[in-house]
Structure 1
Amino acid sequence: MLLEIHNLAVEVEGKQVLKNVNLSIAEGETHVLLGPNGAGKSTLFMTILGFPKYHVTNGSIIFKGKDITNLSTAERVKLGMGVSFQNPPAIRGISVENLLKYESGQNEEDELNPRMKSLADKLKFNDDFLKRDVNLGFSGGEVKRSEVLQLLAQRPDFTMFDEPDSGVDIENVELIAEELNVILDKQKKISERKRAGLLITHLGYILNFVKADKAHILMNGEIACSGNPDEILNDVRENGFKGCVNCAQCTQ
């Protein structure tokens, strides 16, 4: 397993948000996390990343066989974690181009390497855009594409995507999904895939373009059920999250 979460309980500002969460994601797998607003999806996301506001009161997080429960966010990223935020902050004074150079191991004074330049072109970012400060004045679609471009530079072994299909039009969703499939090794044979991911989504629209291996529903701070992504998503659309969970429990 690339990522293993065991009996995880988390408090945020003294309030328990997650309890007894168990989740395992193997190399080459893509999992999707669904759930209503306030279920704890973002809390799980931030806890895996190691944000200090999210206090682990029980359980452990294992990444690449190493207990990372008490490691800093920077240490987790160095081990091979990547993230695409739903609403990332603007960073004044740092251009998209210089951030890409840093993430791909280049010096600031060097020309952007041909691989990154080609990827930027593919994601419809011209030279003028690359000179802009990160996320400053970006549209929703530009923010999402910029996040994906940064991940392509970083090449993480495990990536979390927070609502990659929210706030963008169909053209941008298809463009973003194409590169998500690259990040997640979807262009390779199943036996050759190494990179894995966790997609957090509310509507599940991104699953029309990125195939997930397993879906989980998070409700009231716990993973209520897991299974085939298509079946779970169809049940959610027909019966809502609570109805889907009840149906899954009845058939166990």
Structure 2
Amino acid sequence: MLAFKNVSVSVGHQEVVRDLSLTVAPGELHVLMGPNGSGKSSLLAAAMGLDGYQVTQGDVLFNGQSVLKLSTDERAKRGMGLAFQRPPALEGVTYAAFASAIGAEDILEQEAARLDLAQFAHRDLNVGFSGGETKRSEVLKLILQAPRLMMFDEPESGVDLEHVAVVGQAIKRAVSTQTPDGQARAGIIITHTGLILDHIDTAHGHIISDGRLVHSGDARELFRHVQSHGYRAPAA
């Protein structure tokens, strides 16, 4: 579904991702780990075509077609979606209005309740939210959008332990649900804490360091390695 083909990404004049290749197939959920500043968020931002992130080498394919010439909204319309690490507050846009605008008002109440956000339906998006509320709100926003490819940038960071389970279960449920026309979805999660791994199903983990993919393997085994040895690739 998604393929990074020898991708390099620059922000300004600084190269932050270097010659990285990674493929995500339908039905798969991949986890990216790495130190701060290693290029993980930049990789997802470049995939979505956000301003300031320039793919200087390689290609990004979605469903077999390059998206590099598409605007962010065109990529979203094709089925790509990103839950931001630090989403903006949108004054004047309530969740009820947002859901209505994208045709998701029929699932808003149920999905908001699942993320313990039922009381937020008539509040402006992320305005006055705590850090944990903002993260749950961002997961809800992506679930309402229902893209085929769901990318989550540190969805459990700043979330209390009780709600990490809620967030993980919501992501697991969303990614495992087929599209209305019966197609499988796929997902990518960036994590620093690893707590989300207790609540999702995945066998696909990757360590990214200094802008390069240095190792791939079972996500939980990789996180245990990171806890003991840092972000160095495991010995062969």
Tell me the amino acid that sits aligned with residue 59 of structure 2: S
Alpha-carbon separation, structure 2, partners of 1:193 and 1:201:
26
Task: State whether residues 151 and 183 of structure 1, in contact with CA within 8 Å, keep that contact through their aligned partners in structure 2.
Answer: no
* 2:59/2:68 contact within 8 Å kept: yes
Give the RMSD, CA atoms, in angstroms.
1.7
User: Which residue in 2 is equivalent to 1:195?
Assistant: 185
1:66 maps to 65
Greater Rg, structure 1 or structure 2? Answer: 1
Query: Aligned in 2, Cα 1:193/1:34: closer, same or farther, shift over 3 Å?
Result: farther
Q: In 1, are the aligned partners of 2:84 and 2:152 still within 8 Å (CA)? A: yes
Contact 2:35 2:209 in 1 (8 A): yes
How far does the alpha carbon of each residue in 1:63-87 deviate from its partner, in whole angstroms, 9 at most, with x for none? Answer: 0111102211101100101111121
* AA matched with 1:119: E
Residue 3 of structure 1, CA deviation: 0.4
Deviates more, 1:74-83 or 1:147-156: 147-156
CA deviations over 1:202-246 (Å, ceiling 9, x no partner): 12110011122211111111101111112211111111112xx1x
Contact 2:44 2:151 in 1 (8 A): yes
CA contact (8 A) 1:165 1:201 kept: yes
C-alpha separation between the residues in 2 aligned to 1:45 and 1:17? 12
Residue 161 of structure 1 is matched in structure 2 by 152
Q: CA deviation at 1:171?
A: 1.3
In structure 1, stretches of 5+ residues that fail to align are 107-111
Q: 1:121 aligns with which of 92, 102, 113?
A: 113
Q: Work out whether residues 34 and 215 of structure 1, in 8 Å CA contact, stay in contact via their aligned partners in 2.
A: yes
Q: Distance in 1 between matches of 2:168 and 2:206?
A: 20
Cα deviations across residues 88-144 of structure 1 (Å, max 9, x unaligned)? Answer: 1000111111111122x26xxxxx42x3222223323335x2111110001122212
Distance 1:126 1:223 in 2: 39
Determine the C-alpha separation between the residues in 2 that align with 1:121 and 1:18. 38
CA distance, structure 1, for counterparts of residue 166 and residue 183 of structure 2:
21
8 Å Cα contact 1:4-1:23 kept in structure 2: yes
Counterpart AA for 1:62: L
* Structure 1 match to 2:8: 9
* TM-score, length basis structure 2: 0.93
Gap runs ≥5 in structure 2:
none
What is the correspondence of 1:103-122 to structure 2 with a 5 Å cutoff? Answer: 103=102, 105=103, 112-113=105-106, 115-122=107-114
Q: Does 1:210 align with 2:209?
A: no
Structure 2 equivalent of residue 138 of structure 1: 129
Separation of aligned partners in 1, 2:41 and 2:217: 21
Q: Does 1:183 align with 2:182?
A: no
Contact 1:29 / 1:197 at 8 angstroms: preserved in 2? yes
Measured after TM superposition, the shift of residue 148 of structure 1 is 2.0
Contact 2:114 2:170 in 1 (8 A): no
Identity of aligned residues (%): 40
**Distance in 2 separating the partners of 1:222 and 1:52:** 22
Instruction: Measure the CA separation in 1 of the matches of 2:118 and 2:184.
Output: 31
* Alignment partner, residue 163 of structure 2: 172
Task: Give 2:87's aligned residue.
Answer: 88
